[in-house]
C-alpha cells in the first residue's frame, strides 16, 4: 500500500487511524489533536480553577503517566496556572510497587513535579504485609481494596490538596456503563459517568471538613490513543502482568468493548455518551446530597478506585504475582468484594448516594424507594460512608484490637448478600477482583 498522507497537514505520512472518526493523522498532528481535545474537555467542563493545587493520582501506568504529561503540557501551553503534584500510594507489599514507584519517581523528574508517596502505614498505620501477617493470606485483598478506595483522598487531605485527578479513560467509563447497565444499576451508572465527583473530607479531623474534588480529564480519551500517545511521545510508563480473565464480568465487559471497537470504533464514545444521557434520566433525590455535599455535583462512589484506573484494575493480578499460590483464595475473596461493592442492597444497608441531577428528572417518574439513599460520613474519619463507621475504620478497628476474626464477619455478610443479589451470576463475578479499585 502506498503511504497515506496525514488528513491535517497533507504532508507527513499518516501513522494513526483515529477510532472516533477514522481520520488518518501523522504523529505530530495526532499529538496536537489529542492534547487539544483534552484541553477542550478541561475547559468545557470547567475542571480547574487558576491557582488550584492538583494532585495527580500516579501509579506509573500508562493512563496516569499520560495524564501527568498532558496536564504539564497544557498547563504551560494555555497558562492554566495550576500547581500540579504527583501522589502515589504504596500499599506496603514487599516488591510489588518497586517498579511502578521507580517509574513514578522518574516521571516526577521528567515533568518537574513534586512527588509524594504515601504508604498504607502512614495512612492507616498498617502496611499490607503487616495486615497479611495479622489476618493471614485469605481475605487480605478485602483490606487492600477497602483501603485503596480512600487512599488518594486521604492522601490529598493530608497534603492540603483539594482536587485529585485520575487517569480513567473512555474505555474505563464505557466498561463501567455497560457493567452497570447489565446489572440494572442505573443510580450507580449515573455516578460513575460523572466527570467530576466530590468526596467529603478524608481528613482524620472531621472538623476540617473540606470536600475533595475528583475529576477525570481523560474521560473522553480512547485507551488506544492514550497508549499511542505514550508510544509516540516515548513516555516512560510501567505495565504489569495482564489480569485479563476471560470469566470475569468486568473482563467480559472489557472484551465486549474492545470487540465493539474493532467493528465500530466510535462505539466506545457512544457508550459513554449513552451512559451520560441515561444518567440524566435516572430519578434523583430532591434531598440533595444528604447534607454532605454543598455543590451540585455527584458524590464520589464510596467504592471508587483509589489509585488511578490501571492500578486499580490490577490489584488482584499483582497480588497473584506476589503470591501465585493464592490464586484460588483470591478468587473467593474477590468474589466477596465484588458483591460487597456492587450489590443493590435493600433498604437501610444501601450504600448508594443521592444524585445531583434529580431536578432534571421528569415529574412523572417516581423514584424507587430503594434507590433513595442518604450517604453520610464516617464518625471516625469523616470519609463518605453509608454506615456510621466506614469500612476502612471497621477493618482498622479489628486490626488494632488484634482481632483477626473480623474478616470472617465481613465475609459472612458478603456471602449472604451474594446469594440474595447475585444468584448464579455470582460465579461470573468471581474474577471481579480487577474492579476492586477500578471505578
Partner 1 sequence: MSDDASVAITTEFSGGLEILFGNQKKYSLSVPANDEFGAPANVAFLVRYLCDKVMKDPRKELFVLDDTVRPGILVLINEADWELEGEAKYELQKNDHIMFVSTLHGG
Residues found near Zn ion in the complex (CB under 5 A): 6, 8-9, 12, 26, 29, 378, 380-381, 383, 390, 393
Work out whether strand 24-25 and strand 16-17 pair parallel, antiparallel, or are unpaired.
Answer: antiparallel
Work out what residue 261 binds among partner 1, Zn ion, none; the CB cut-off runs from 5 to 8 Å by kind: partner 1
How does 175-209 read in b/e, with b if 16+ C-beta sit within 10 Å? bbbbbbbebebbbbbbbbbbbbbbbbbbbeeeeee
In angstroms, give the least distance from the CB of 15 to partner 1. Answer: 5
In angstroms, give the least distance from the CB of 382 to Zn ion. Answer: 7
Work out what residue 398 binds among partner 1, Zn ion, none; the CB cut-off runs from 5 to 8 Å by kind: none
- Residue nearer to Zn ion on the CB measure, 288 or 376: 376
Site for partner 1 in 11-50 (CB under 8 A): 13-17, 24, 27
Site for partner 1 in 88-127 (CB under 8 A): 100, 103
- Residue nearer to partner 1 on the CB measure, 31 or 279: 31
Work out what residue 349 binds among partner 1, Zn ion, none; the CB cut-off runs from 5 to 8 Å by kind: none
Identify which range of 205-213, 253-261, 330-338, 403-411 contacts partner 1 by CB under 8 A: 253-261
Q: Are 146 and 391 in contact (CB under 8 A)?
A: yes
Number of Cα atoms under 13 Å in the Cβ half of residue 129: 10
CA trace torsion 179, 182, 187, 193 (10° rounding)? 40
- Residue nearer to partner 1 on the CB measure, 99 or 205: 99
By C-alpha distance, which of 174, 146, 185, 191 is closest to 425?
185
User: What distance in Å separates the CA atoms of residue 280 and residue 286, rounded to the nearest whole number?
Assistant: 14
Work out what residue 7 binds among Zn ion, partner 1, none; the CB cut-off runs from 5 to 8 Å by kind: none
User: What distance in Å separates the CA atoms of residue 192 and residue 214, rounded to the nearest whole number?
Assistant: 12
In angstroms, give the least distance from the CB of 205 to Zn ion. Answer: 12
Work out whether strand 53-57 and strand 24-25 pair parallel, antiparallel, or are unpaired.
Answer: unpaired
In angstroms, give the least distance from the CB of 279 to Zn ion. Answer: 28
For residue 64, state whether it binds partner 1 (rule: CB under 8 A): yes
For residue 259, state whether it binds partner 1 (rule: CB under 8 A): yes
Tell me which long-range contacts 268-272 makes (C-beta under 8 A, separation of at least 24): 268/19, 268/170, 268/171, 268/174, 268/222, 269/20, 269/170, 269/174, 269/220, 269/222, 271/174, 271/177, 271/178, 272/170, 272/173, 272/174, 272/177, 272/193, 272/219, 272/220
Identify which range of 122-130, 284-292, 306-314, 385-393 contacts partner 1 by CB under 8 A: 306-314
Of 224, 250, 391, 407, the one binding partner 1 by CB under 8 A = 224
- Residue nearer to Zn ion on the CB measure, 9 or 365: 9
Q: Which residue has the cell 447534607?
A: 291
User: What distance in Å separates the CA atoms of residue 75 and residue 1, rounded to the nearest whole number?
Assistant: 40
In angstroms, give the least distance from the CB of 143 to Zn ion. Answer: 14
Question: Angle at the Cα of 394 (from 140 to 356), degrees rounded to 5?
Answer: 105
How does 236-263 read in b/e, with b if 16+ C-beta sit within 10 Å? bbbebeebebeebbbbbbbebbbebbee
Coil, helix or strand for 228? helix
Q: Which residue has the cell 510489588?
A: 96
Site for partner 1 in 328-387 (CB under 8 A): none
Work out what residue 65 binds among Zn ion, partner 1, none; the CB cut-off runs from 5 to 8 Å by kind: partner 1
Work out what residue 393 binds among partner 1, Zn ion, none; the CB cut-off runs from 5 to 8 Å by kind: Zn ion
In angstroms, give the least distance from the CB of 81 to partner 1. Answer: 28
In angstroms, give the least distance from the CB of 148 to partner 1. Answer: 13
Q: Are 105 and 77 in contact (CB under 8 A)?
A: no
Site for partner 1 in 149-188 (CB under 8 A): 171
Of 71, 186, 310, 326, the one binding partner 1 by CB under 8 A = 310
Per CB under 8 A, residues contacting partner 1 are 1, 3-4, 13-17, 24, 27, 59-65, 100, 103, 171, 223-224, 226-228, 231, 237-244, 246, 254-255, 258-259, 261-262, 308-314, 317
Amino acid at each position: 500500500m502506498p503511504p497515506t498522507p496525514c488528513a491535517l497537514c497533507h504532508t507527513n505520512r499518516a501513522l494513526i487511524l483515529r477510532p472516533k472518526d477514522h481520520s488518518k493523522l501523522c504523529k505530530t498532528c495526532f499529538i496536537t489533536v489529542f492534547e487539544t481535545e483534552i484541553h477542550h474537555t478541561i475547559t468545557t467542563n470547567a475542571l480547574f480553577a487558576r491557582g488550584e493545587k492538583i494532585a495527580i493520582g500516579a501509579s506509573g501506568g500508562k493512563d496516569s503517566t499520560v495524564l501527568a504529561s498532558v496536564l504539564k503540557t497544557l498547563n504551560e501551553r494555555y497558562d492554566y496556572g495550576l500547581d500540579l503534584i504527583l501522589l502515589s500510594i504504596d500499599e506496603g507489599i514487599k516488591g510489588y510497587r518497586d517498579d511502578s514507584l521507580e517509574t513514578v519517581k522518574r516521571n516526577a523528574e521528567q515533568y518537574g513535579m513534586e512527588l509524594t508517596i504515601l504508604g498504607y502505614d502512614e495512612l492507616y498505620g498498617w502496611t499490607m504485609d503487616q495486615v497479611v501477617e495479622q489476618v493471614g493470606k485469605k481475605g487480605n485483598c478485602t483490606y487492600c481494596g477497602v483501603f485503596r478506595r480512600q487512599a488518594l483522598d486521604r492522601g490529598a487531605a493530608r497534603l492540603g490538596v483539594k482536587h485529585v485527578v485520575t487517569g480513567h479513560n473512555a474505555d474505563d467509563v464505557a466498561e463501567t456503563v455497560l457493567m452497570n447497565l447489565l446489572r440494572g444499576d442505573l443510580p450507580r451508572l449515573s455516578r460513575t459517568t460523572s466527570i467530576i465527583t466530590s468526596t467529603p473530607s478524608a481528613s482524620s479531623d472531621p472538623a476540617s471538613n473540606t470536600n475533595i474534588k475528583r475529576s477525570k480529564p481523560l474521560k473522553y480519551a480512547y485507551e488506544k490513543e492514550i497508549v499511542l500517545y505514550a508510544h509516540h511521545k516515548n513516555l516512560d510508563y510501567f505495565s504489569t502482568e495482564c489480569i485479563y480473565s476471560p470469566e470475569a464480568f468486568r473482563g467480559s465487559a472489557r472484551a465486549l468493548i474492545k470487540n465493539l471497537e474493532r467493528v465500530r470504533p466510535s462505539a466506545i464514545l457512544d457508550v459513554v455518551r449513552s451512559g451520560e444521557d441515561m444518567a440524566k434520566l435516572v430519578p434523583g433525590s430532591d434531598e440533595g446530597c444528604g447534607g454532605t455535599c454543598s455543590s451540585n455535583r455527584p458524590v464520589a462512589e464510596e467504592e471508587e478506585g483509589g489509585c488511578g484506573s490501571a492500578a486499580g484494575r490490577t490489584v488482584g493480578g499483582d497480588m497473584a504475582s506476589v503470591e501465585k499460590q493464592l490464586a484460588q483464595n483470591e478468587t473467593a475473596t474477590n468474589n466477596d468484594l465484588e458483591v460487597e461493592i456492587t450489590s443493590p442492597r435493600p433498604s437501610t444497608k444501601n450504600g448508594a448516594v443521592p444524585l445531583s441531577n434529580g431536578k432534571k428528572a421528569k415529574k412523572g417518574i417516581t423514584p424507587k424507594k430503594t434507590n433513595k439513599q442518604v450517604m453520610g460520613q464516617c464518625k471516625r474519619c469523616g470519609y463518605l460512608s453509608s454506615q456510621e463507621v466506614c469500612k476502612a475504620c471497621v477493618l482498622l478497628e479489628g486490626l488494632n484490637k488484634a482481632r483477626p476474626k473480623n474478616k470472617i464477619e465481613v465475609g459472612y455478610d458478603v456471602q449472604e448478600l451474594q446469594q440474595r443479589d447475585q444468584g448464579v451470576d455470582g460465579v461470573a463475578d468471581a474474577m471481579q477482583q480487577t474492579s476492586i479499585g477500578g471505578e
